[in-house]
Structure 1
Amino acid sequence: MPHTLEWSQAYTHRLSKNNARAVAARQADLSQRLAYETAAGALPFLTMSYREKLVVELPLVLPRLKICKHMLVLGIGGSALGARAIQRAFAPGQDGPEHQGPWLWIADNVCAQTFDAWLSKLNPAETVVVCISKSGGTIETLAQYFLACDWLKTAFGRNWTQRMIVITDKTKGYLREEALRHALISLEVPNCLGGRYSALSAVGLLPAAFLGIDWQSLLDGAADVARPLTQNPSNIGSHPAFALACWAHELEVHQYSQLVFFCYIPTWSAYGLWFAQLWAESLGKKSMGTMPVPATGVTDQHSVNQMFLDGPRNKGCLFLTSRVQAAGRNFGTDLPEQWAWLRGKAFGSLLEAESLGTRMALSESGVPLVHLEMHDTSPRAAGALMMLLEAATLFTGWLMDINPLDQPAVELGKRLANARLGATGYLQEEADLFAFLSAAKKEQHF
C-alpha cells in the first residue's frame, strides 16, 4: 500500500492555493531543467546512477567486517547524520540493555574527551574504522583519522591498514591519496553527490550493512519515489515532491520563517536532524529560506509545542506518522477507577491519540500542516521518505532561484579555522582573525 501526503490543513492562515497554482505553472521550465540535469549527471542522488556499482562493491567489503564487533565512523554533517538516523531506526538495540553487538560509534564532533574515551575503551582487535569525507580534506575528520591511524598502528603495526576503510571521492583529495598510498579498502562518493544527499550511498549504507540492516531495501524505497521523475521529467507537476516544494515555497513567500519537522515515529526521530541539515544547508541562501526545527512526538509536546501552538505565527509543519507501529503491552484490567478508560488498551494507543491531538491542535492554531503518513516503518519506507524529502528540497531551491546543491557560506568558517591552526595560504583570513581578536571586548561576568 502507498504512503500518503494529506493536504486538507496545508493551505491555511496566510497561505493561498491560488498562489501555489501560480508557482506550479513553472513546472514546464522545471521539468526541462530536471531532464537536462539528470542527463548531465548532476543529480546522482535522484538518478541513483551509482547503485549498480555499489551493489557489487559493498558486499565485497562486508567479509572484512564480520570479525568486528565495533565500527568507528569518522565523519561529520552529511557523513554522519544519515548513518545515525538509519541505525537508530533499524538497529536500536545498541542503545538498550544487554546488547551483544554489533555497535556503531560515530565521531561527528571535535570532543577530545569522548574521542579519547572511545580509543581507550574500544578493543582494536574487534574494531574497524571508517573514515568518510567527500572532499577528503575535512579538517575535523582528518584530525580524527590521524589519531585513529596511530591507534591502529600501535595495535597492529604494519597491518593497521586492514582495519581502516575510507569513503571519499574517486580520484582526488587527501583521503584518496591515502587510500592509494597504503592500499586501503575504499568506496567512493560519486561525483556531484554532496554530503547531505549521500545517506543512500556508501556513506550511509556501509554502516547500515555492518549493522545487518537491509540496505538494499532502503535503495528500493528511494528508487520507487525517484523513478517517475527520472523516467519522465515532464510529470514533475504531479509528483508529491514537487507539491511539497510548491507548499514550502509558499511558506517563505508569506513570511513563515520556520518549518517544523514533527516526527511521531519515535524510532525515526533522528531523521529530524538529518532533514535539518538537508533543508538548512540547501536552502539557507541570499537571506532566504525557512529554518528547519526537528521535533519528536510525544516528547516535544512537553517542551517546545507551546511555542508552536501559541507563539509567533511563523511556522509551517511537516507532520510524520505511520499507520503501523508497535502496540506494546496492554494495560491491566485492575487500573484505578479514575484511569478505567485505559483498561485493556495497548500502550502504543497513547502515541496514536497524542499524534491526532497534536495534529488537530496545530491545525486549529493556524499552523499550515502537511501530514506525511507512512504505510509502514520498514527500511523500504524510510528510503522512500528520504528520497521524497531530498527531491522536495531540490525543487524548493529551484523555485527560490538558488542552487540547492552548494553551501558557500559555511566555507568562511572553515578557512578561518584553518588560519587559526596555522595552515598556509590564508593571508586575508589571518588578517581578519587578528582584527577580530584585537577588538575591544565588552565583558560581563557572572
Structure 2
Amino acid sequence: MQYSHNFNPTISDEDIFNEIVKEKEYIGYYNLPFQDTTPFKEYAKTVTQSNVVVIGIGGSTLGTYAIYKYLKHSKNLSKKLFFLETTDPIDIKSKIENIDLEDTLFVVISKSGTTVETVAIFKYVNSLVTCNHTNTVIITESDSKLNTYAQANAMTTFDIPQNVGGRFSVFSAVGLLPLAIVGINIDELLKGAKETNNDFFGIFGTQVSTWAKSSLVRTRLLKKARFLVEYKNSFNINVVFSYSSRLEGFNKWYIQLWGESLGKVDINNTRQGLTPIGIIGPIDQHSFLQLIIEGRRDKTVTVIKVENFDNDLKIPAITLEGLEDLDYLNDLEFSSLIKSQADATIEAIQNLNDIPCDVITIDGVCESAIASLMYEYELLTSLCGKFMYINTYDQPGVESGKMILKKKLQS
C-alpha cells in the first residue's frame, strides 16, 4: 500500500524562516542594526542645549522612551530628555512648565509628517518659543509635508525609511538621534540588536542567512511564536510581567508593537489578534497576580528579570518594635529582594502546571541588553504574523480612526 497526505497542521519552522528571509528584502527594520551611526553622532556633538524634547506619538516616542527609561539612572547623561506625546492639556502644560524652553532642542518626529497630535503640540510650542534651525530638528519621511516645512525653514532633517514602520523604528533616526544627543551609546545599542539578528539568521562573517546554521535565538522564538498562535483561542492574553520599574517603558512599547501588528484580518477574512498586557513586579503581585493564579486560564505569562541592577542599595540592619519577625530582611540588597520576588512568582505560576510561562533574564542595565530584548520582540512579532497569515506591518484600524477624526475637525 502506498500512502501520501497533506494533513500538516501548519507551515513548518523552516518555511516560516524562509519567509522571514524573503521579507528582509523589503521590510526595513531587519537591517537597521547594520547602519552607519556617524550622522547621528556628528549631529549630537553640535547640540548645545541642556534639554531635549521629543514631540511625537506612538512609534515616534515609545521605543526611545523605553530605552531612556531603562538606562537613565545608570548613566551620567549629559542632557535631560522629555517627551510631549499627548494632547491632554494638563500633561502638556505641566511638562512645559518644568522645562527651560530657551535651553531646549526640539526633536519633531512624524513618519507621515501630518500626525495630528504631533503638529498640534508643535504649534503650541511655536507659540511659546521661536522654533527655527538653531533649536529644532525634524525626523520624517523624505517626501512628507513636514520635510517640506523643514526645508523651507532651513532645519536639519533625518529620514525615516519608507519601508520601516513607526512601531519598528526605534533603531532608526527616530530613536538613535535623540538617544545619541543625551549621551547614550547608540553603537552599543545596535551591537545588541546586531548580535540577535546574526544569531537568528545564522549569519557569521560573510555568510548569508541560512536555516542550516543552528541558532538558540531562532529556536526559542519559533517555538514561542508557534505556541502563541496555535493556542491563541485558549490563551489569547499575553502578559509581560517585568520585574523592574525601569522596564515600564518597554512594557508600553511592547503593547503597541503587539497590538498594532497582530490585531488583523487574515487571508481568510478571519479576525486575528493576541492581547498584550504589560505589568510591573513586585507592584502588580498585589493585583494582577491574583487574576493570573486563580482567574481564567486564558493567559500566557512572560516574566522578565534583570540579573544585575548595578545598584547596591541595602535594607538597613535596624529593628522596628513589633516587627522583629522581619529582621531576616536586614542587610539584604534590594536587588536581591526583587529577584527573589520574581523567582517566587515564577515558582507559584509553574507549580500550577496549567499556565504557559517563560522567563527572560536580562544580563544587566546596559545598551546592548535592552536593545537585544527589543529586537527579539520585533522578530517574535514578525514570526507570529507569519504564522497567522496577516500583514504585520500595516494598521488599517488605526488609519480609519484618523480619517474620522480629520472629518470631525474639519466640519
Find 2:288's aligned residue among 289, 304, 307: 304
Q: How far apart, in 2, do the equivalents of 1:246 and 1:106 lie?
A: 36
Q: How far apart, in 1, do the equivalents of 2:85 and 2:170 lie?
A: 15
Say yes or no: does 1:31 pair with 2:13.
Answer: no
Note if contact 1:31-1:236 (Cα within 8 Å) is conserved in structure 2. no
Query: What is aligned with 2:209?
Result: 232
How large is the RMSD of aligned CA atoms in angstroms? Answer: 2.4
Q: How far apart, in 1, do the equivalents of 2:244 and 2:95 lie?
A: 30
Q: How far apart, in 2, do the equivalents of 1:233 and 1:100 lie?
A: 40
Note if contact 2:139-2:160 (Cα within 8 Å) is conserved in structure 1. yes
Q: How far apart, in 2, do the equivalents of 1:236 and 1:250 lie?
A: 26
**Deviation per residue, 1:32-82 (Å, 9 max, x gap):** 3223222x2x22211227612xx12102211332x2111111110011111
TM-score by structure 2 length?
A: 0.87
Q: How far apart, in 2, do the equivalents of 1:30 and 1:387 lie?
A: 18
Deviation at 1:340, TM superposition (A): 3.1
**Which residues of 2 match residues 303-322 of structure 1 at below 5 A?**
303-322=287-306
Query: What is aligned with 1:196?
Result: 167
**Deviation per residue, 1:325-352 (Å, 9 max, x gap):** 2342143165653123223322322212
Which residue identity is paired with 2:198? R
Find 1:59's aligned residue among 9, 17, 41: 41
For 1:85, what is the secondary structure of its paired residue? helix
Say yes or no: does 1:165 pair with 2:137.
Answer: yes
Which residue identity is paired with 2:66? A
Which residue identity is paired with 1:357? A
Note if contact 1:70-1:101 (Cα within 8 Å) is conserved in structure 2. no
Q: How far apart, in 2, do the equivalents of 1:110 and 1:375 lie?
A: 37
Q: Which stretch shows the higher mean deviation, 112-121 or 376-385?
A: 112-121
Sequence identity (%): 26
Note if contact 2:160-2:174 (Cα within 8 Å) is conserved in structure 1. yes
Query: What is aligned with 2:225?
Result: 245
**Deviation per residue, 1:220-254 (Å, 9 max, x gap):** 000000113164242598413323212221331x4
Query: What is aligned with 1:108?
Result: 85
Query: What is aligned with 2:313?
Result: 328
Say yes or no: does 1:266 pair with 2:237.
Answer: no
Note if contact 2:189-2:367 (Cα within 8 Å) is conserved in structure 1. yes
Note if contact 1:34-1:233 (Cα within 8 Å) is conserved in structure 2. no
Note if contact 1:72-1:127 (Cα within 8 Å) is conserved in structure 2. yes
Cα distance change of structure 1 residues 376 and 235 upon mapping to structure 2, 3 Å threshold: farther
Q: Which stretch shows the higher mean deviation, 233-242 or 79-88?
A: 233-242
Find 1:147's aligned residue among 112, 121, 124: 124
Unaligned runs of 5+ in 2: 1-7, 266-270
Note if contact 1:257-1:291 (Cα within 8 Å) is conserved in structure 2. yes
Q: How far apart, in 2, do the equivalents of 1:142 and 1:150 lie?
A: 12
Say yes or no: does 1:80 pair with 2:57.
Answer: no
Cα distance change of structure 1 residues 184 and 261 upon mapping to structure 2, 3 Å threshold: same
Which residue identity is paired with 1:390? E
Note if contact 1:168-1:176 (Cα within 8 Å) is conserved in structure 2. yes
Q: How far apart, in 2, do the equivalents of 1:422 and 1:50 lie?
A: 43
Say yes or no: does 1:343 pair with 2:343.
Answer: no
Deviation at 1:119, TM superposition (A): 4.2
Which residue identity is paired with 1:30? I
Deviation at 1:120, TM superposition (A): 5.0
The one of the two structures with greater contact order (alpha-carbon pairs below 8 A, sep at least 6) is 1
Q: How far apart, in 1, do the equivalents of 2:212 and 2:182 lie?
A: 37
Of Structure 1 and Structure 2, which has the larger fraction of its residues in helix?
1
Note if contact 1:327-1:349 (Cα within 8 Å) is conserved in structure 2. no
For 2:308, what is the secondary structure of its paired residue? coil
Unaligned runs of 5+ in 1: 1-20, 424-446
Cα distance change of structure 1 residues 237 and 283 upon mapping to structure 2, 3 Å threshold: farther
Cα distance change of structure 1 residues 115 and 334 upon mapping to structure 2, 3 Å threshold: closer
Deviation at 1:282, TM superposition (A): 0.4
Cα distance change of structure 1 residues 100 and 289 upon mapping to structure 2, 3 Å threshold: closer
Which residue identity is paired with 2:136? M
For 2:372, what is the secondary structure of its paired residue? helix
Say yes or no: does 1:284 pair with 2:263.
Answer: yes
For 2:157, what is the secondary structure of its paired residue? strand
Deviation at 1:179, TM superposition (A): 1.7
Deviation at 1:118, TM superposition (A): 4.1
Q: How far apart, in 2, do the equivalents of 1:405 and 1:235 lie?
A: 28
Q: How far apart, in 1, do the equivalents of 2:52 and 2:115 lie?
A: 20
Deviation at 1:201, TM superposition (A): 1.4
Say yes or no: does 1:360 pair with 2:332.
Answer: no
Find 1:418's aligned residue among 388, 406, 409: 406
For 1:91, what is the secondary structure of its paired residue? helix
**Deviation per residue, 1:201-235 (Å, 9 max, x gap):** 11112221222112211110000001131642425
Q: How far apart, in 1, do the equivalents of 2:111 and 2:230 lie?
A: 33
Which residue identity is paired with 1:408? P
Q: How far apart, in 1, do the equivalents of 2:149 and 2:402 lie?
A: 22
Cα distance change of structure 1 residues 51 and 400 upon mapping to structure 2, 3 Å threshold: same
Q: Which stretch shows the higher mean deviation, 185-194 or 101-110?
A: 101-110
Q: Which stretch shows the higher mean deviation, 205-214 or 78-87?
A: 205-214
